[in-house]
Amino acid sequence: MPKSNPIKRLFDLYTSDLSADEINRLIKRDAGEVYEFFAKDIPKPDPSKNKIIRGFILVRSLFNAFLLKLTPARRIFYLAALLFFIVGYSQPSPAYLILSFLIFNLLIAFELADKLSAKNELDVARKIQFDLIPKHSSTIFNYQIASYYEPAREVGGDYFDVIESNGQYYIVVGDISGKGMAAALYMVRVQSIIYLLLDSISDVRSLIINIKKYFSKSLRREYFLTLSIASIEKEGKINFARAGHPPALWYKSEKREFEVVCPNGIGIGLNDKGVFEKTLEEFSFQSEEKDIIFFYTDGVNEAMNILREQFGDENIKRIIKNNCEKSAEDIKNALLNAVTNFRGAANQNDDLTFVVLKANHSEDKS
């Protein structure tokens, strides 16, 4: 039996999981994310300087930002490895080059271990967050319902829920500023506050006011929350209030037109100087047969393609109108496909959350 080529075995080992998609992601997405990660900590270039000087300053600033992200001990070892490489290359001295190579690889191993450990924790957090997403039925009273949630990172700052309480159903859609773990932790707190308040409060305006009362106490200044809550009564009446959140879209099937349901309300956590409670409004309406009500976060209408163009509210309306005869689940899938196709190769820039309600008043109420 012929022996396999050791070089081929080594090549197969290092390329076994390699794919064109992975290389494309490394170049187009990962490289951009790495640049943005370090660039946020460096000063803006001086436009009065020429391009070569600006480029040199940018490279130097990025290098300094990279060094400062390392722990002090690793920073010293990195600089030592860099010095050994320069000395080994200039003399030349293989011993210094080998030592530099070993230190660099040791530092990579440390950083990789930290990253994998953090990734494992994020994977657990992602599973927990998805466990908190409601597993609702396909109907609530005389409405079909379909929902979708997709965080931009492992965990996200969007929150939605479908809660049965006080003889009504409540649809909650919220968005904490920012993405990632901090936003996800805040959203868990929002959910716990809502469940606690629903034991004693039924109208949506009072519910939002009390959410603001309890939640804003622990909110850091750089964060704020937008939120919309709709309560659905057994007869089909919908009561809706929003705190700075995108409005609901109400498609009136008989007239084949949209009404933007946009009662007044500002975000939670902003410096409202007592205006929040005074301006918050509640709007009630009764849908008709086959009407569609759409709740969403700005990750839907602000989804971007590679040209940085936004999907927009008009595209949302167009998809809903073109699929208005279909079920809520089919409308959800049509909208999701449209957003995905529009985004194309671009990264998902924000969490994506929406809920579709479709009235079926002719059916028996449950």
For the chain, the distance separating the N- and C-terminal CA atoms, rounded to the nearest angstrom, is 72
Confidence category of residue 12, pLDDT binned at 50, 70, 90: low
Q: What is the DSSP letter of 26?
A: I
Residues 81-97 pLDDT 10s = 989 999 988 888 889 89
Residue in 145, 185, 187, 183 with CA at minimum distance from that of residue 162: 145
pLDDT at residue number 165: 92
CA distances from 45 to 49, 54, 57, 58 (A): 8, 6, 8, 7
Summarize pLDDT for 17-65 with one digit per residue, the tens. 666 666 666 666 666 667 777 777 777 777 777 888 888 888 888 888 8
* Distance between CA atoms of residues 160 and 152, nearest Å: 15
Question: What pLDDT sits at residue 35?
Answer: 72
| pLDDT score for 29 | 63
Does residue 319 carry a pLDDT above 70? Answer: yes
The SS3 call for residue 158 is: strand
* Fold classified for 133-359: Phosphatase 2c; domain 1 (3.60.40)
pLDDT reported for residue 366: 42
Beta bridge partners of 72: none
pLDDT at 1: 46
Q: Which of 101-105, 126-130, 353-357 has the highest mean pLDDT?
A: 353-357
Mean pLDDT of the chain: 86
Q: Where on the phi/psi map is residue 291: left (φ > 0), alpha (ψ -120 to 50), or beta? A: beta
pLDDT of residue 19: 65
Q: Check pLDDT > 60 for residue 3.
A: no
pLDDT, one tens digit per residue, over 234-267 is 999 999 999 999 999 999 999 999 999 999 999 9
- Choose the most confident range, by mean pLDDT, from 199-203, 311-315, 361-365: 311-315
pLDDT in the model for residue 21: 63
pLDDT band for position 162 (cuts 50, 70, 90) = very high
Residues 130, 313: contact at Cβ < 8 Å?
no
Determine the Cα–Cα distance for residues 134 and 162; give it in Å rounded to an integer. 6
**For residue 186, what pLDDT is reported?**
86
pLDDT at 356: 97
| Domain spans of the chain, in order of start | 17-108, 133-359
Per the structure block, which two tokens stand in for 1? 């039996």
Give the model confidence (pLDDT) of 123-146 as tens digits.
777 777 777 777 888 899 999 999
The answer on pLDDT for 363 being more than 60 is no
Q: What is the mean pLDDT of residues 11-20?
A: 64
Q: What is the pLDDT of residues 216-243, one digit of tens each?
A: 877 888 888 999 999 999 999 999 999 9
pLDDT at 64: 85
What's the confidence (pLDDT) of residue 11? 64
Structure pTM?
A: 0.75
Q: What's the Cα-to-Cα distance from 50 to each of 23, 39, 40, 46, 150, rounded to whole Å?
A: 34, 20, 22, 9, 43
